[in-house]
Amino acid sequence: MPTEARACTASELLCVMSARLLENGQVIFAGVGIPLLAATLAQRLHAPGLTILFEGGTIGPHIVPGQLPPTTNEQRCTRRANMLVSTTEVLLLLQRGYVDVGFMGGAQIDRYGNLNSSFIGPADDPQVRLPGTGGGNDIASLAKMIVAMPQEKRRFVERVDFVTSPGFLRGGASRRDAGLISGGMYKVVTDLALLGFEEETGRMKVEALHPGVTPAQVQANTGFELPVGPGVGFTEPPAAEELAALRRLDPDRVYTA
């Protein structure tokens, strides 16, 4: 394993691997934290024409290194943006079809890419009431989705306690049949692997392992069967210039510690 990869944190790995998935010219609906950082990194590295949207109503903000906004609704999000609109208008851009990728973090995900950020335990009598969907449900309903999250057994479960943001629901055609005819889960980026979804079944699959990660490690950190197929290779380790650009964006390591 090259020194750069070993020298970076799990969050940095998530940022670099996610940034690589974003393409020049795309319009990205980003949450704060790693999604915003990764989208900004992609802008700096290979996608200068990538546009970021924030849920609060910001189109094309200019992110200042070291001053990443802590929520998508604060004035810091608006600095030198191209346009400010209402929250409803910016969310309607998803429905109108202007958004290429929705990019979020996740608390709990299942094998069909459904995300839960509402309840731990049964919804009528939960062990923990979580903060809820925000715009997550709308983004996951209407856009191609990238989710960045650490891979842990308690986060990668057979079936989420509550479908806050829909992935492929119960697999097969169930998402389309529910009325969600656009968007859907595209990639899940973890600290262990790059994951995708089988087209027919909507089941999660391993597309590539990060350098030095074993199939057994992936399975040990996943609450459902997630085999690594015969042709699956490795991702390229983070390059020195990728990590340097990332560290310039978050010099205080607020999001990449």
Partner 1 sequence: MSQPYLELRRRTQSRDRSLREKVMSLEEACRFVRDGDHVALGGSTASRTPMAMIWALIRAGKKDLTVSRSIVSTEGDLLFASGASRHILTSWFSQGIVWGVSRVMRGFTESKRAVFEEWSHLSIGLRYRAGAMGVPFLPMRSMMGSDVAARLKDLREMDCPFTGEKLLLVPALNPDVALIHVQRCDPYGNAQIDGLLFMDVDIAMAANRVILTTERIVSNDQIRRAPDQTKIPFFAVEAVVEAPYGCAPHECFGAYEPLFPHMDYYAELTRKNPEAGAKEYLDRFYYGPKSWTEYLNLVGLEPLLDATRRGRSIYAD
> Minimal CA–CA distance to 74: which of 62, 61, 56, 86?
56
87 binds partner 1 per the rule CB under 8 A: yes
User: What pairs with residue 194 in β-bridges?
Assistant: 189, 208
Angle at alpha carbon of residue 196, lines to 52 and 9, rounded to 5°:
65
Smallest gap from residue 151 Cβ to partner 1 (A): 21
164 binds partner 1 per the rule CB under 8 A: yes
Q: Which of 4, 55, 74, 225 is catalytic?
A: 55
Which residue lies nearer to partner 1 by CB, 25 or 122?
Answer: 122
Token pair, residue 160, equals 């989420």
Token pair, residue 155, equals 């986060």
Give the x-and-dash track for 168-197 against partner 1 (CB under 8 A): -x----xx--xxxxx---------------
CA distance 100 to 28: 6
Select from 137, 207, 211, 224 the one that contacts partner 1 (CB under 8 A).
137
Smallest gap from residue 132 Cβ to partner 1 (A): 5
Smallest gap from residue 75 Cβ to partner 1 (A): 5
71 binds partner 1 per the rule CB under 8 A: yes
Residue 198 backbone dihedrals phi, psi, to 5 degrees: -70, 135
Hey, CA dihedral for 80, 54, 96, 50, is it positive or negative? positive
131 binds partner 1 per the rule CB under 8 A: yes
55 is catalytic: yes
Residues designated catalytic: 55
